Each structure stands twice: as C-alpha cells, then as structure tokens.
A and B are shown apart, each in its own frame.
Chain A
C-alpha cells in the first residue's frame, strides 16, 4: 500500500514530518503541564508518531541517511554515551545519598544532635512536617535553618518548609501565626508550636507532637479548690479547655483517697484551697513530689498558708499578705498588680511583651538560707512601688513600716538542684483568680493563660528533655576600631588587587 501511496506522499513528506513532530511536542508538553497522562495526550502522541513513521516510510533513503550519516553516527554515539554516563552518575549519587558520611568539623560540634534527639527522630513512625514561619531577615532564621536541616537529615520521617509570613499571608492565617519566628510541628491533625531555636526547644515540640500517650493534669479537690468542671465565674473550666486542646488529660484527685500517685498523673494543680490540708495529706503530697509529680500551687490571700509550711523545705514561704500596687496596677485597681517583665526561665522566655494581671495576690518569700537540694527561681516580680500589706483587713490600708516593699516575687519555679534527680518540679504563684473563667472571659490577649500553660508544660516535661542543654556557640566576636576596619577594607579592595594588576603590568612590559 505504501508503494502505491509513495508518489502522493513524496511531495508532502516534509510537512507531514513537521506536523507529526509538532503533535508529539504538544503531547509531551501536555504531559508535563497536566502531570498525568490523559486520553487526548495519548491520541495526539500516537498521531504524531504515526505521521513521523509515515514520513520515514515515504522517503526511506533520506531517513536512513539522516540516521546513518557520519555526523549523525558520531552525534548519536556521543548522545548515547552521555546518557549512559548520566545514568551511571545518577546511580552513583543515588547510592551515595543513601550511604553517606557527614562530619561536623566545627570546633564546638555545633551541628551534632544529642542522643535523645536522635533516638526520638529514629522512633518517629508517622511523618512529621515542620513549618517555619520566618521573614528572611529574622535574626534567628539562620540558626533555625541550620538546626532543622540536621533534624530532617537524621529523621527519615521529618521534613520542613520555610514560609515567609509576610508574603504567604494565607498560610500564616491558616496556622494562626501571630509572631515572626514561629515554628510549627505537625503530625496528622496535631500541632505543636515553639518559638525557640535551640535543640531543646525543637526536640521538646517534636516529642509532644509525636507522642500519643497523654500527660495527665489533675486538680486537687477536698478543700474547696477551684474546679476544672465549674463553668461559673470562679470556675476553671476555660483552663481545662486550654489543657485539653493541648492534649492533656484533665482529672481531679483527692489526697485523702489516694495514697500513691496514679500512673497517669504528671502534674497536680492545687488551685486555691480554702481549707488547710491535713498533716496526712501533706505527707502524701511530699511523697508525690519525691516520686516525680510536678506541683502547681496557686494560693490567694485571706488565710494562713494552707500547706502549713510545706514549701518551706523547698525554699519558699507563703506569708498571709495582700499585694497593693498604686502605680503598676491594672486600670487603677491597686489590688490587681500587673506584670509585663519576666525573669528569664523556660516558662517565661516566650512571654516578653505580654501583660499578666493578678487580682488579689499574695507575695512569696524566699527562705534564707536557701535549701541546698532545691533551686528556686522567681519568674515574676511586682513593681518597686508595690508592698505586701499584712493588715489588709483594717479599715484603712496604707503602707506601714512592717510591710515589705517591692519588687515582690509573685511567681516562682522550684526544681531539684542536681538536675535529673527524678524528683518533681514545682511552680508556685501567689494568685488564683488570674485564670478563673470570669477574668479570662473579660480580658483577652493577656499573658495569664500563657503563664499557666507554660508552667504546666515545664512541670510535665519529659526527663529525657531535661538533660538536653542548649549548646552555646563559642564566641567569635570581633570588635574592630574604625581605623582597623578601614585598613582591612582598603587593603582588600585596593592594595591587593592593585598588586595583582601591577604584576600583570610587569609581565606585559617585559613581553613588549
């Protein structure tokens, strides 16, 4: 049949080949754009191939000449060899990527992850995605990138993307990012945020997001404490919701009925007992702490220490006072001191710029001398103008000589001084109403919830994390005096290049 068609085809051979090539090209482009083969692509590709074949059959001699010419032979040969080399190199790199060595040659092993982090990364069973919201010029971006790269390399199930929250507003909104420098760890529908760029911060967030076992936060009952189930103004049901949204199990516990800490108990919250705890209960509390339960103690004014000096052994005393602050108080209510500067601690390190309000607060006193076994760190002080009013029930309040003046500690964290001893941590806050429903409903955007949640997070922290200490890079600081700087810049911009040009000039001169 071809023989009979040949005369007709002969003349239009070139256009047929051209159309065939065009059809094939369109089909290939379609495949690239769509990403998946579609029917029309296959049909078009088929037509293109058929037309090309037809053209080849019509002018077999020309076609053969095209393929077998010397140039084509060498060209084709070269192309074939190049493809073979690409395949070999590709395979080598593939193998090389799977089995590779990596040396951290920095003097202080800056990029070497700790054993704990590596074991967590190795045990990841589901993919964890990390989204880092950083504007390009953020001061921590480089450090975050350095570190997360190592995580992604060591953990097969972890990958990451950087998002510029200024450019990609949609993603930032979707993740409700309020701050440049937020890092979001994500597994399934679970998310965990961190703002720190130390290994400890990232591993802590990674552990939280990858762990299915829930941490238990129990509220003490039996002494008219605030109730996590109470939806009333004085209740703590909003805090319960915050805790549950961060994957904690919330429950209650009565010390009179519980001799040993239940296995799921990680943090015990004592939220404003109105009756003193009995000696037996206090003894049980002590053993809880010895066994590693974290204690969050919230105490308000109006009674002597309901824990009967229990905290004295750990380094804190709770006198019955009311903090009054005429200057730095919440909208002029002198009984509601506010705090917007925090001491540096893991609990407060991300809270700069947030205001916390403590209506009806009492102050904490550090025991002198401090107990050796425990380390007490104040988290927040009142202003210098505040004082601790002892006679607050009197008709007229005013600062008297025996009232202690500010700055007064209002929140403190206690931990064993030899870290990793396995005993519980404690956080004590001289206030209860700062997290009650009424206040949280009324005031938005304050730091009260952050303080509570960070404290719980710190108390419930894994022992594994406690031992990861941040590595501080060795200081490489250089302070140049202006003449030094000028000397360096001029030497490098002018003198050295001029020297090179001079050498070139000499060579040119001698050759002339």
Chain B
C-alpha cells in the first residue's frame, strides 16, 4: 500500500477513536469529574512520551532545527488560543449553560487534533512503523477526549449519536494535517527536524496548558501524578519493545 494511504488510514482511524468515548457515558450518563481528570492525566502522559519519542530520531546539528520547530509549535498553539480567547477555558464543565461553551470546547479540541495530525505525519515520514505507533497512541488519547466532548454535548441536550459524531468531527483536522505534513516532509526531507519539533512542542504545550491543569483541578495531585507516569511508562516501554 502507498505510504500516503497508510497515513490517511492511520490518522482517520485515530480520529474515529473519539467515538469510542461514548462508552463510559453508557455506564454513567454524567461521569464524575475525577474520571475526566484521570482520563486527561493518562492522555497527558501518553502525549509527553510521544513528544519524547519524536525527539529521539533527532541528532547533533538537527537539534537546532528541532528546537526552533518546537518554538514555532508552542507559539502557534499559544497564539491561536489567545486569538480565539479560549486560553482560560475550563474543559471539564458539565454544568455551564452558555451555548458558546460547547463551541469553544470544540475549538480547543480541533487545536489539539491539529497538533496530533502534524505528529502523525512527521512520525510517519521519519519511520512508517513509528508513525503507526504514534497514531495508535493518539487514538487512545482521543478516546478520553471523546468522552469529554460527548459529555459536554450530552449535558447540553445533544443526542448520544450526534454527540459522538461531533466528537469525531472535532478530530478531523488531524487527518488533513497528517497527510499534509507527511507530504511536505517527504518532498523536502530537510523539513523533518522542523516538523518533529513542531509536533513535539505543540503536544507538550497542550499538555502543560490544558490537560494537566484540568487534571489537577479534578482530582488529587498524587493520583494524577501516578496516572501521568503510568501512561508515560507504558508508552515508552511499548515503543521500545515494538521497535526491538
């Protein structure tokens, strides 16, 4: 199969995983805040480990391009949050009444998925197996994110299937960006450390500005720290074992 098709399939599968996020809601229609906090913490750990994995192929002189790419990635997310005025947004409010809130959560979700798209594309261009692994990890991350999104929409009276569909739509940007960044890096291999850096910086910044503060707000810091570490540990170990 053509590599671009693999990128397309992997990124799409990862976006679709958001729909699995409805499953916890079938058990508990309004999930406790601590569930969302732990899910966010697991996602955070996985994303930190993914960012570390993206830095690993970088060696020597390419580190400069990696660092600058990361700076651009961090400032890109920082700037778009400030521009859309969503930087102070709490992502775990199930009670907030304003309709804008739902849109804002979707917007932040799309930003997350944009960064994930670049991560999948850049990883795939660096090594196909690594790319599939990153896509699988981000798919896992999309499940709790999907739970969050569907829970927010459900609490606003959206039907379950529609809420699940919206959660997937919020992630569609990652398919486009995965394919685009893959194509760019394949066409211009010198761009690889930049793309890896951009993805790593953006992922780290999203963890530090969204996922972790939300997690700490929803559960005790010891349980959050353990969840983050568990995810980091499992991801790094699996990554290395699969690579052999």
Indicate, yes or no, whether A interacts with B.
no
Show the binding face of A for B, using Cβ within 8 Å.
Answer: none
